[in-house]
Structure 1
Amino acid sequence: MFLSALLVATLATISQWWFFAPVTRCLTYPLTTGLLVGLFMGNPMLGMLSGATIQLVYLGWINTGGVMPSNTMVAGIFGTALTILSGASPTLAVTFAVPFSLIGLLMVEIYQSVNSFWVHRADAELARGNVKAIRFLNYVPSLIVAIIVYGIPAFCLVFFGRGWAQGMLNMIPKSLTTALEVVGALMPALGIAMLLNYLGKKSLIPYFFIGFFLTAYLKLQIMAIAIFAGLLAYLLYINQKANATKKDAEPTDKKVRRLTLQNRTGKQENASAALEPGTNIAQNISPLNYQIKLTHSDLVKTWLWEQSDEAAYNYERLQALGLTNMMIYPIKKLYPKERQADELKKYMVFFNTEPHMVGPVIHGIALSMEEARANGAEVSAEDINGVRTGLMGPAAGIGDTVQQGIIFPILASIGATMALDHNYFGPIMFTVVFELIIYAIGYWMFMYGYKKGKESVVSILKSGLLDKVTNAFSIVGLMVVGTMAATRVTIKTPLIWHVGQSVIKLQALFNQLAPSLIPLLATLLVWWLLRKKVNASIIVVGIFIVGILCSYLGILAVI
């Protein structure tokens, strides 16, 4: 048990201490950590089933701008561990995970607040010219805090918890256990409804119902729906692109509003002029004449260092310390020793963007500007930070939308469905494919930003390509989510009416109208509440209350 506790504690620690993103990225998801906790505790099947069940609740919980609506790391690891310790059914994993996720919000507040101290220490060390201290401050203090806040509680839970966890479960009356299983069966409606709230453009909502009814009536599997949705989205994308090309070819007298960015004086600039390659960057210096150049190997190493940009994530400056750590390698290549600390200071300002997929384009641009600056171009520190801060918002909007709102739910839905069908390939497929997609794109964006300079993001935004691609992926996502509503909100009604000599089963009537009608109605109700701005935490409490009451009253049961 000691080894199990130690392994789970390590997993809990690095689920928050993001020392290298390709290792830690998917440890924020219960679908991945559930299987790992199960392996560490000797029951991989129960761990996988518990993690997949928990993941369904958090399909639509999207973390943006440093704001975490619920701590899915704690929910997945602690909730799965407690399920295994108590020997409970996987359907009860959700009822264990939700309280842990709320406690986890306090844990992340402690973690990110304490990490703010290391930023000020880094400022002081750079003022002394001590560049080496940045590496230490980015990794070691935040690791210690993560061990204290996450690792030690996880170790204690696993090492000391088996006896009281099983005793707690034995103390719960059978009727309450059944009621909590109803709650667990209802909870996925929240995750699905949150995705609908996020993806649900009015023009695209019918695709949710298409996915639902294809599954409810034709019993199609989620992979079949995903393939069908992908082909349909591609055809619509091609058609949309063809129409746009035809429209562009038509003469028009309408004036087109051009993308603008704020310059560092607060005035609006035309984006294509403000970010034109060579403008105020290398006036009389061609990159071909650079005396100091970054090699492809230097760029790859810098991109790898960028994967630690959230190791010391903190409330005060968010990714600043991690990005300063990233820039140590290229700054040392570009500048003499006496300038290195001063050049790094510009990166110790507040910075936050989507870090893995689209955000790296900003760091590539910054590298191209640093290279020009090191070769004598009139590029100031304010120029570099002006571009960085001007682009971090658009990059975050694109990255979070595509990664967390589209790619993740599609892959997680497929992976969770496979896992709940007792297929170990589900969480493995999700983890591998998800990371391959986001880091392949992230690497390409990093290099694209460096090669194209400041025009790169603007060219993407002005092309209109993003909206077309986002709509295509949203169609796939909505159809997959429709399938989840039909198969993973596993509630029914056991109500029976006696009319004379006849027995009328209410569920049979609903099945004649539309199979899985009750799960659909539950999902739509939760979605309606979210659109009315009801807080998700209040909805969670409401699901607990309604689920328990309806179970005791014999209105709802688990399929």
Structure 2
Amino acid sequence: MAVWQVVAVAVIAAVAGMESVLDEWQWHRPLLACTLIGLVLGHVGTGMAVGATLELTALGWMNIGASQSPDTALASVISAVLAIRAGNDVNQAIAIAIPLAVAGNLLTVLVRTLTIYFQHLSDRMSIDNEQTALFRLNFAALSLQALRVAVPSVLFTIFVSPAMMDRLFSFLPKPLTDGFTAASGFIVVVGYAMVIRSLQVDKLMPYFFLGFLAADFSNITLVAMGILAVAVAWLHVRVWARHDAPGADLPAEEESAPASIRRLPSAVLWRVFWRSQLLQASWNYERMQGMGYAYIVEPTLNFFFPEPEVRLARKLRHVEFFNTQPYVANIVVGINLALEERLQTGDPRYDRLVTSIKLGMMGPLAGVGDSIFWGTLRPLLASLGATIALTGNILGPILFFVGWNILRLAVRWSLLQYGYQLGVRIVNVIATGVLRQVTEMATIVGLIVMGALVADWASIHFAIHWQVGHGQTMSLTQLLNGLFPKLPELLLVLGVLWLLRKGWSSVWVILLLFSLGIVGVYAHVLAA
């Protein structure tokens, strides 16, 4: 392997490591990371095949709140390198990718714990260093995430040869490797169950079964299923379950800004917009997005408060706890920009309202954002792109990348402008019940899509078969397909959902399913 290829692998791994915490451009997702690795190593088809297969496995892997999912970045880079160096063997790569994702999760937890140190350094900002402190601290935290993936990926690329991998797989017992292969068919249910749990379904769970049955007993495509889901969600909110929104008739009162204060120019607003994509750069287990939030609003504080003492005090005010879905966070940012603008008058009411807005809105907005982006749009676009990529068409990864980022950037900019223009009036908008209706619609769409994905992509193959006369045999899988296709997969996802709600971590559930795969193959119950 040429030196430039090793360097390229290191760069891709570093970007994937940073993206795994930022969750913005999606370079850490298998469909994109594996394709890039295949491109630089001269086997783009193999990279796409690994990435598409692993993407369909990891559709529901997401970081919500303080919960940590298996690491797609490390698994994607190393599995693609492995497939190419082992003679384009996609099956071997996938078999080892998920254990790598679980192992990488431990490194992610370690780095997010170490980042607490940088959070504490932000509390000690002074007038001498406050102009650069937030940038340096966020960059340092993000660099650790880059090294977390880049270092093991480079070591693997340099020192692991195809012959070593052949010896490794020949050394491993066949029930173990076949068990990994069998489990890789149904390990996807963990991600789906995580999505369902994050949606907080309550009485809406029947919509999951609707999506499952529609996909299980028909040939409906995923795109058509998404359109159907939106139509059903609209009918539910607007027709079947009409709500009298509290406060719907309340007028939204606009507070005019005093003529003496400086208005925020568009150039500063654009700087805030671009910085908003670094909200999670320093995510840690103590104040989560707090330091990233302070870095986002910093251009506004520099503009509104030229006095160093006042400006420092405002920055320290914003390193407090904050955590929500990153794409919808800009509505909170926009509202607080308007409040900071009014703080130039010296009215202390706005200072208290800054914190109240952040803490009061971050929870409800997280539910909306998680449902729309993590629970609906990303699985929909990623599965569509992966399906295209499995045919060998490079348009699959391109479609996912372009479609996702157009939506993401448009939502970020629109919500930032919306929040800033409305200012404190956004509180009255929330009181109308619009937010609750959007959340409910997104939840229904997410549940229907997840049900369809379980029917389309989860697979359990049984090794049990018996004679039916005249030399013919029937397998348990054939029998179940004739009665109720995908019933075992449905029961499995419900069982995993039950374990997650009982407090099991996703990592332990994945380990349990791998164990079931190995034991099932060894006992001749499951087939690889």
Report the aligned-residue RMSD. Answer: 3.3
SS in 1 for 2:26: helix
Distance 1:384 1:466 in 2: 20
> How far does the alpha carbon of each residue in 1:445-488 deviate from its partner, in whole angstroms, 9 at most, with x for none?
211111111231x3343222233333333333333323322232
Tell me how far 1:535 sits from its aligned partner: 3.9
1:461 to 423, 430, 440: 430
- The letter for the 1-side match of 2:508 is I
Hey, what does 1:9 align to over in structure 2?
A: 10
Distance 2:119 2:492 in 1: 46
Distance 2:190 2:289 in 1: 31
SS in 2 for 1:387: helix
Hey, what does 2:225 align to over in structure 1?
A: 225
Hey, what does 2:327 align to over in structure 1?
A: 357
Counterparts of 1:262-277 in structure 2 under 5 Å?
A: none
Hey, what does 1:498 align to over in structure 2?
A: 467
SS in 2 for 1:505: strand
Tell me how far 1:427 sits from its aligned partner: 3.0
Does the 8 Å contact 2:288/2:323 carry over to 1?
no
Does the 8 Å contact 2:19/2:26 carry over to 1?
no
Hey, what does 1:473 align to over in structure 2?
A: 442
Counterparts of 1:110-509 in structure 2 under 5 Å?
A: 110-124=110-124, 126-134=125-133, 136-163=135-162, 164-172=164-172, 176-199=176-199, 201=201, 203-240=203-240, 243-244=242-243, 278=255, 286-287=256-257, 289-339=259-309, 341-354=311-324, 356-379=326-349, 381-456=351-426, 458-499=427-468, 501=470, 503-506=472-475, 507-509=477-479
- Structure 1 residues 152 and 123, CA gap change in structure 2 (3 angstroms): same
- Structure 1 residues 517 and 315, CA gap change in structure 2 (3 angstroms): closer
Does the 8 Å contact 1:50/1:90 carry over to 2?
yes
TM-score between the two structures when normalised by the length of structure 2: 0.87
Count how many residue pairs are aligned between Structure 1 and Structure 2: 524
Residue ranges of structure 2 left out of the alignment (5+ in a row): none
Tell me how far 1:370 sits from its aligned partner: 1.5
> How far does the alpha carbon of each residue in 1:273-293 deviate from its partner, in whole angstroms, 9 at most, with x for none?
9x9764xxxxxxx42613422
Does the 8 Å contact 2:61/2:194 carry over to 1?
yes
- Structure 1 residues 537 and 106, CA gap change in structure 2 (3 angstroms): closer
- The letter for the 2-side match of 1:464 is G
Does the 8 Å contact 1:86/1:169 carry over to 2?
no
- Structure 1 residues 191 and 488, CA gap change in structure 2 (3 angstroms): same
- The letter for the 1-side match of 2:364 is P
TM-score between the two structures when normalised by the length of structure 1: 0.82
Distance 1:213 1:145 in 2: 45
SS in 1 for 2:466: strand
Counterparts of 1:54-73 in structure 2 under 5 Å?
A: 54-73=54-73
Hey, what does 1:75 align to over in structure 2?
A: 75
Tell me how far 1:414 sits from its aligned partner: 2.8
- The letter for the 2-side match of 1:414 is L
Distance 1:530 1:539 in 2: 8
Residue ranges of structure 1 left out of the alignment (5+ in a row): 249-255, 260-271, 279-285
> How far does the alpha carbon of each residue in 1:267-316 deviate from its partner, in whole angstroms, 9 at most, with x for none?
xxxxx99x9764xxxxxxx4261342212232122222222233233334
Distance 1:19 1:508 in 2: 40
Tell me how far 1:317 sits from its aligned partner: 3.3
1:551 to 511, 515, 521: 521
Does the 8 Å contact 2:127/2:309 carry over to 1?
no
Hey, what does 1:264 align to over in structure 2?
A: none
Tell me how far 1:505 sits from its aligned partner: 0.2
Counterparts of 1:520-559 in structure 2 under 5 Å?
A: 520-558=490-528
- The letter for the 2-side match of 1:49 is A
Distance 2:69 2:216 in 1: 32
- Structure 1 residues 234 and 542, CA gap change in structure 2 (3 angstroms): same
SS in 2 for 1:497: strand
Distance 1:111 1:410 in 2: 30
Does the 8 Å contact 1:13/1:150 carry over to 2?
yes
> How far does the alpha carbon of each residue in 1:412-437 deviate from its partner, in whole angstroms, 9 at most, with x for none?
33333333344433333223222222
